[in-house]
Amino acid sequence: DGRLTFSPGNQTVDLPFINFMKRYGTVFLNAYTNSPICCPSRAAMWSGLFTHLTESWNNFKGLDPDYVTWMDLMEKHGYHTQKYGKLDYTSGHHSVSNRVEAWTRDVDFLLRQEGRPMVNLTGDRKHVRVMEADWRNTDKAVNWIKEEAINLTQPFVLYLGLNLPHPYPSPSAGENFGSSTFLTSPYWLEKVTYEAIKIPKWSSLSEMHPVDYYSSYTKNCTGDFTKQEVRNIRAFYYAMCAETDAMLGEIISALRDTGLLKKTIVIFTADHGELAMEHRQFYKMSMYEGSSHVPLLVMGPGVQEQQQVPDVVSLVDIYPTMLDIARIPVPQNLSGYSLTPLLRGKAENELPRPSWVLSEFHGCNVNSSTYMLRTGKWKYIAYSDGRSVLPQLFDLTADPDELTNVAIKFPIIVRSLDKILRSVVNYPKVSSHVQDYNKRQFISWKQSLGQNYSNVIANLRWHQDWLKEPKKYENAIDKWL
């Protein structure tokens, strides 16, 4: 959640290395993902293209494996490149459940697809390395800096992808389980200031926007939660952020120990945030701030120190920025714009960048293609074909918690924002294209299973609900097809 990198969000947890980057670099106050889910978001970041252009519709469908990323171009131009950890931007990752849930989101049924969010404390006050896989990748990156980078005669670019602060798998939810367990140790939990944790306000279920209700239901969040449960989920999430911050610290320390820190640009960002029980949801897949607002901090040579940039920016801007830093010509067809003028503290009026950012979502846990335009104080969210599902409009200055949809109150603003949105993406057409894609994918998957279909579909992540009335749900799918 990008809001943790600046005030007041950063008062809930101690993030010393994020603070170090703020002191010696630039923090972006309004950085957004172009799609609030792993694979589509990373596809946008690695390609510099909006999601409707990459056609990375869900966590199964990303970039083609041979797509030329900014890192490929840097390698071609003489950079030594190295990647560790989670990449997740090409096709074919994630569980079968994840795919089928995305393909069947237009089916007229409601099934819980995730485990109920919960917390789990492990180890003792000395237990530092909770997310072992991330630590192993961090160690590899640190060793590479100390053993390889220091001896290179050419410039290098190193990428480290972490899984934290992602919730952990919950095996109790079934074989293709979701990840609904917030796990940490007492060591990290002590970094969290419990008194500073805000308990989010929730609308009543009957007042929720229909898409929000669907998300809440499929994420298993419509039941009763005590304030203590909600506070714990948020605290454990913040503790997981503290552990992530420590991994960033390992990289910064390795660069400092080798004398490389002064001549290396460091960028810290994320594919999406975490709702952590805001709006009666956990996870991502939403245009609310907790899910769509990402951290973006940059420090290094030529970057303004102690600078806070209010301009709206998004992950597609990483591609042209990396090329700009490396003095490589930037291709013309990109969706993003280089951040280097902002990093150097140039006045806004010199910059040929739009005053809006676009985010869109087409995957599971949401029963409609979703498009978000953020500009000035406004966040406009349009759904599907723009008619069948009502839009949302939030004034983030007056209503930072996004509790009051003012779309009906400001029809002229809605019209003007919708016009901008349609000039960027023909969203009714894209939504219709995604619906066709989902149906085609589902049909070919169903055919590939033959006689096994009924058994396989019943035992995906939604099995606890499905097995109560399997015929009813199969019939709903037949009707949709």
**Range from 93-102, 346-355, 386-395 that averages highest in pLDDT:** 386-395
Cα→Cα distances 182→86, 137, 233, Å: 19, 21, 7
Domains of the chain: 16-354 (3.40.720.10)
Tell me which of 38, 221, 241, 364 is the catalytic residue.
Answer: 38
What digits encode the pLDDT tens for the residues 424-435? 999 999 999 999
Q: Provide the pLDDT for residue 8.
A: 86
Three-state SS at 161: strand
CA distance linking residue 2 with residue 297, whole number of Å: 10
Give percent of the chain above pLDDT 70: 97
What digits encode the pLDDT tens for the residues 45-55? 999 999 999 99
Q: What integer best gives the mean pLDDT of the chain?
A: 95
173: pLDDT confidence band, cut at 50, 70 and 90?
Answer: low
CA distance linking residue 150 with residue 380, whole number of Å: 47
Burial of residue 416 (CB within 10 Å: 0-12, 13-18, 19+) is middle
Three-state SS at 222: coil
What digits encode the pLDDT tens for the residues 323-371? 999 999 999 899 999 999 999 987 655 668 999 999 999 999 999 999 9
25: pLDDT confidence band, cut at 50, 70 and 90?
Answer: very high
Q: Provide the pLDDT for residue 208.
A: 96
Please state the φ and ψ torsions of residue 392, each to the nearest 5 degrees: -125, 145
Q: Provide the pLDDT for residue 93.
A: 62
Give percent of the chain above pLDDT 90: 90
- Residue 417 scores a pLDDT above 60: yes
Active site annotation includes 38: yes
What digits encode the pLDDT tens for the residues 226-254? 999 999 999 999 999 999 999 999 999 99
